[in-house]
Amino acid sequence: MRAAVRSVRNLRSAFGHQRNSNSTAFVRRRIHLIESNSISVYRLPDNAEIYRILLRTFSMSKAFSTDAAAKVNITEVNRTGPLVEYERRTAAGELVDGDACQVGTLKELQRLYDEIFESADACGLDRYAVPEKIVRNRWFWSRLMPQSSYAPVKGLYLYGGVGTGKTMLMDLFFDQLPCNWRKKRIHFHDFMLNVHSCLQRHKGVTDPLEVVAGEISDEAILLCLDEFMVTDVADALILNRLFRYLFSNGIILVATSNRAPHNLYEGGLQRDLFLPFIATLKERCVVHEIGSAVDYRKLTSEEQGFYFIGKDLSSLLKEKFQHLISEYIASPQVVEVVMGRTLQVPLGANGCAYFSFEELCEKPLGAADYLGLFKNFHTLALEGVPKFGLHNRTAAYRFVTLVDVMYENRSRLLCTAEGSPQELFENIVTVSDARQMAPRTSSRSRRNDDSDLCVDNELGFAKERTISRLTEMNSKEYLEQHAEEERQLSQELANADAVQA
């Protein structure tokens, strides 16, 4: 029930941003429905002349409605957009006034916003403009008559340091777009999990990647991917062909990342097979760096929150966990994840789950398992987060992924740890950092008598993001927002139960 109500809330939120656009979409949908049933409504077999007159009248009405909708859209372009909305929110005190780098990025997003609106028809963004049957059969006809249809507008690839507001800026752009458009905003983890799941479903097809690309582009022409980060060799090997198909299907990509395109999958296995994707990405997207040195996540009001530093704090964590679940009794539970897999939850109740670090980060789990967990739980109590180094590098990767998924789902974290977020990652360094420390330490193969220093580019870059997010997740503002969202969710659950009763 909780997952269902969350889904309804997300849909309601998505459709609440553009009331004017919804009205336009409703008009267009009504036109499409009437048009598809025009013969049954207007057919007068005994009088063909009257039938033709009625059809002409209907066509004129449809043309008038379409022209009116176009005029509304042109007006909307002149007074809406991410830059306009940003200025409104900062004036209202809803957002902190950003620096010149953020404003420069907003100008790029506003430029893209205006270009997309001008080419909306050519891009095929309106989901109601093409009959559903034609969309479903597009892949079949493309096999008979292969053709490429690149979008007339280039996408945008935003990259920069942690906490510079990349996600916020992209969401600001996405939320200003009409709801009747074929658009999708998704975290890169989720996107790749969906791709692999679809590939499994189409196993045995001559070219399953082409089929999956067709399904993605049928659903969304404007694709917004947050936290573009390639660490898995399986992802790296399919991205080039997947996005060649997507771009040839007219996809417009807007992505955020901590890494510049030429630094993606740096040092990864078989990277030479990944390099063509970087060239394709640069060809189809404008690359823009957010150069701010400010970490806006750390501007929150710091407080200890539920992050407890020290050893032998198990009893304290369980006491806090019991306080959160109130009168509920915690018990082992099972949650479903993708492709029929399940995840065992040692203790769970009232939207809260309790794990030891070993159970959640030292077992062969990944983003899919964590996503399944936080579709069912809003709070995680995690016992015994260690300091990371060479000896537990794999667990460090999983912890980074766990924090990413929690942050994306606005979940709450209670944990006991051996040190502060900065101290947990002090032994994780990039190759360039290691070279500055000592030339010999830049090698991945180290002598046994060396310290526990872990030289890893991906972890070295990811650690700053994780430290930043852990800091924000224990801030007063984040915890208050979480509490308010859960209060609203509890009220909606109670209302849903009352309706069912």
What are the tens digits of pLDDT across the range 268-287? 888 999 999 999 999 999 99
- Half-sphere exposure in the Cβ direction for 467 (13 Å, CA): 20
The reply to whether 3 falls in a domain is no
Q: Stretch 25-44: mean pLDDT, rounded? A: 35
Nearest to 480 by CA among 303, 295, 350: 303
Burial of 93 (0-12, 13-18, 19+ CB in 10 A): exposed
The position carrying tokens 């079949």 is 140
Q: Based on the domain organization, do 139 and 217 belong to the same domain? A: yes
The reply to whether 213 falls in a domain is yes
Q: Based on the domain organization, do 90 and 147 belong to the same domain? A: yes
Give me the domain span that covers residue 55.
21-79
Q: Based on the domain organization, do 413 and 395 belong to the same domain? A: yes
Q: What is the pLDDT of residue 262?
A: 93
Q: Based on the domain organization, do 341 and 452 belong to the same domain? A: yes
Q: Based on the domain organization, do 25 and 168 belong to the same domain? A: no
| Average pLDDT across the chain, whole number | 79
Q: What is the pLDDT of residue 268?
A: 83
Task: Give CA angle at 103 (220, 287), nearest 5°.
Answer: 50
Confidence of residue 130 (pLDDT cuts 50, 70, 90): low
The reply to whether 453 falls in a domain is yes
Q: Based on the domain organization, do 332 and 273 belong to the same domain? A: no
Confidence of residue 490 (pLDDT cuts 50, 70, 90): confident
Backbone angles phi, psi at 81, to 5 degrees: 135, 165
Q: Based on the domain organization, do 439 and 495 belong to the same domain? A: yes
- CB proximity list for 451: less than 8 A, separation 6 or greater: 427
Q: Based on the domain organization, do 327 and 456 belong to the same domain? A: yes
Q: Based on the domain organization, do 203 and 308 belong to the same domain? A: no
Q: Based on the domain organization, do 276 and 406 belong to the same domain? A: no
Range scoring the smallest mean pLDDT among 32-36, 151-155, 213-217, 400-404: 32-36
Answer whether residue 394 shows pLDDT above 80.
yes
Confidence of residue 480 (pLDDT cuts 50, 70, 90): confident
Q: Stretch 119-137: mean pLDDT, rounded? A: 71
Spell out the SS3 assignment of 250-301. Answer: CCEEEEEECCCHHHCCCCCCCHHHCHHHHHHHHHHEEEEEECCCCCHHHHCC
Helix (H, G, I), strand (E, B) or coil at 308: strand
The reply to whether 13 falls in a domain is no
The DSSP symbol for 387 reads: P
Q: What is the pLDDT of residue 428?
A: 93
Nearest to 227 by CA among 182, 199, 190, 178: 190
Task: Give CA angle at 194 (188, 198), nearest 5°.
Answer: 145
Q: Based on the domain organization, do 146 and 127 belong to the same domain? A: yes
The reply to whether 231 falls in a domain is yes
**Which residue blocks in 145-228 are alpha helix, DSSP H?**
166-175, 188-201, 208-219
pTM listed for this prediction: 0.63
Answer whether residue 23 shows pLDDT above 70.
no
CATH number at residue 213: 3.40.50.300
Answer whether residue 87 shows pLDDT above 80.
yes
Confidence of residue 22 (pLDDT cuts 50, 70, 90): very low
Q: Please give the tally of structural domains in the chain.
A: 3
Q: Are strands 155-160 and 252-257 parallel, antiparallel or unpaired?
A: parallel
Q: What is the pLDDT of residue 66?
A: 44
**Element housing 315 (H / E):** helix 314-325
Confidence of residue 266 (pLDDT cuts 50, 70, 90): confident
pLDDT in tens, 166-175: 888 999 999 9
Q: Based on the domain organization, do 107 and 64 belong to the same domain? A: no
Q: What is the pLDDT of residue 267?
A: 80
pLDDT in tens, 112-126: 999 999 999 999 998
